[in-house]
Amino acid sequence: MATIFDVAREAGVGIGTVSRVLNGSPLVSEATRQRVEDAITRLRYRPSSVARAFGRRRTERLEVLVPHFVEPFFFELLMGIEDALADADSEYSLHIRAMTDAADRDRVLGECCRKNNVDGVLVLWTPPTEGFVKRLERDRVPAVLVNASHPSLPSVAVDHDRSAAQAVEYCARIGHRRIALVDRFIDPFGQSGAGACQAGYRAAMSVAGAPVVAGYERVVPLTAESAAEAVTHLLEMPEPPTAILVGSDVQAIGALQAARARGRQVPRDLSLVAYNENSVSRYLGLTTIRVPLRVLARQGLQLLLQRVQEPNLAASVTYLDTELVVRGTCAPPRA
């Protein structure tokens, strides 16, 4: 394998010049640059990324933290990440860590950057713990959140409240007034706390002049089972909802199963709006709030790369728009 020395010799210059050419420095005359580049092609030289990382005192590695429930749409996220890496044609490679539950989350956040040295961390769909944030700050490891937020960390996210509002507005427009919410906790591992879409749901209900009946808001753990149970409860109410907004795709499946189990036909007897796009929702023909997964991940990674280069940027928050995809699970309520 040719090294930078070979190229320098071949081009009749010093290695410093070759290095400058390699890194696109303006401090090289056009003629010299040309000669160096010729030498590079002639020798089929390619710089060693490891030696580069070593010299730059970087690792050229990023860590990606994902909760397990992203499984149905993780591929899209990954494509977004690869998009961003390709854009920047960087040599970064990835350490991907999944978190199965709250205990595992704590373990993974605790180990993050410890064993493996990384230049930055991308946290997907998971509110970071305080200890984790502190440690990142102490160790000067830049991090970016995707679809999560923290006061001192930059993030790219969809506005869950606005998305919920989109769904409620749509249901109201086609005639529903008894609209319920089956939501997940903001923290995907959480067993309590506010729902991810709750505020938006309330606001939109109030705008639509629809009453938020007691018991219509059900914030439950992020599993199909919990959602199924919640829907069952809703359907057993004296005044059951005619439409339900479900805050995650995993829960949407549970909701469908529960409706089916109670003999309700969707959308004839019950309208459903689901969340995210994946093979299930597409196959099932769910009316859905589409989250721009690929773009979300891409922008998150771009932001991270930026901060790897300039660690002192202020924490920014970017919101991306969701889109309501109308398919077959909503219909006007029956008189």
Partner DNA sequence: TTGTAGGCGTTATCAG
Partner DNA sequence: CTGATAACGCCTACAA
Q: Find the part of the chain contacting a copy of itself (CB under 8 A) among 5-13, 74-82, 152-160, 204-212.
A: 74-82
Q: Is residue 54 a contact point for DNA (CB under 7 A)? A: yes
Q: Does 327 bind a copy of itself (CB under 8 A)?
A: no
Q: Does 271 bind a copy of itself (CB under 8 A)?
A: no
17, with CB counted inside 10 A (0-12, 13-18, 19+), is buried
- Span of 25-33, 78-86, 173-181, 259-267 interacting with DNA by CB under 7 A: 25-33
Segment contacting DNA (CB under 7 A): 30-38, 134-142, 176-184, 289-297?
Answer: 30-38
| 327 φ, ψ (degrees, to nearest 5) | -130, -130
Nearest by Cα to 178 from 150, 216, 151, 146: 216
Residue list 184-223, contact with DNA (CB under 7 A):
none
* Four-point Cα dihedral 51, 55, 56, 60, nearest 10: 30
Q: Can you count the helices (H) and strands (E) in the chain?
A: 13, 12
CB of 53 to a copy of itself, least distance (A): 5
Give the residue ranges of DSSP H helices in the chain. 4-11, 15-22, 30-43, 49-56, 74-87, 102-111, 130-138, 160-173, 198-208, 224-236, 249-261, 279-284, 293-309
Q: Is 29 in the site for DNA (CB under 7 A)?
A: yes
- What whole-number distance in Å separates Cα of residue 331 and Cα of residue 243? 9
CB of 115 to a copy of itself, least distance (A): 8
Q: How far apart are CA 45 and CA 61, in angstroms?
A: 23
Amino acid in position 126: T
Candidate list 47, 120, 240, 333; residue touching DNA; CB under 7 A: 47
DSSP state of 147: S
Quickly count: other Cβ atoms within 10 Å of residue 105's Cβ: 23
Does residue 319 bind DNA (CB under 7 A)?
no
Under 8 Å between Cβ of 161 and 197: yes
Which residues, in sequence order, are bridge partners of residue 233? none
Total number of residues binding DNA (CB under 7 A)?
30
Q: Which residue among 24, 41, 44, 57 contacts DNA (CB under 7 A)?
A: 57
Q: Which of 109, 88, 127, 100 is nearest to 303 (CA)?
A: 88
Of 10, 24, 32, 172, the one binding DNA by CB under 7 A? 32
Nearer to a copy of itself, 93 or 152 (CB): 93
Determine the interface stretch with DNA among 46-54, 124-132, 234-242, 256-264 (rule: CB under 7 A).
Answer: 46-54
Is residue 70 at the binding interface for a copy of itself, with CB under 8 A as the rule?
yes
- Regarding 114 and contact with a copy of itself (CB under 8 A), the answer is yes
| Residues binding DNA (CB under 7 A) | 1, 3-5, 12-17, 19-20, 22-23, 26-29, 31-33, 45, 47-48, 51-52, 54-57
| Residues binding a copy of itself (CB under 8 A) | 46, 48-51, 53-54, 58-61, 70-72, 74-76, 78-79, 82, 89, 91, 93-98, 114-117, 253, 256-257, 278-280, 283-284
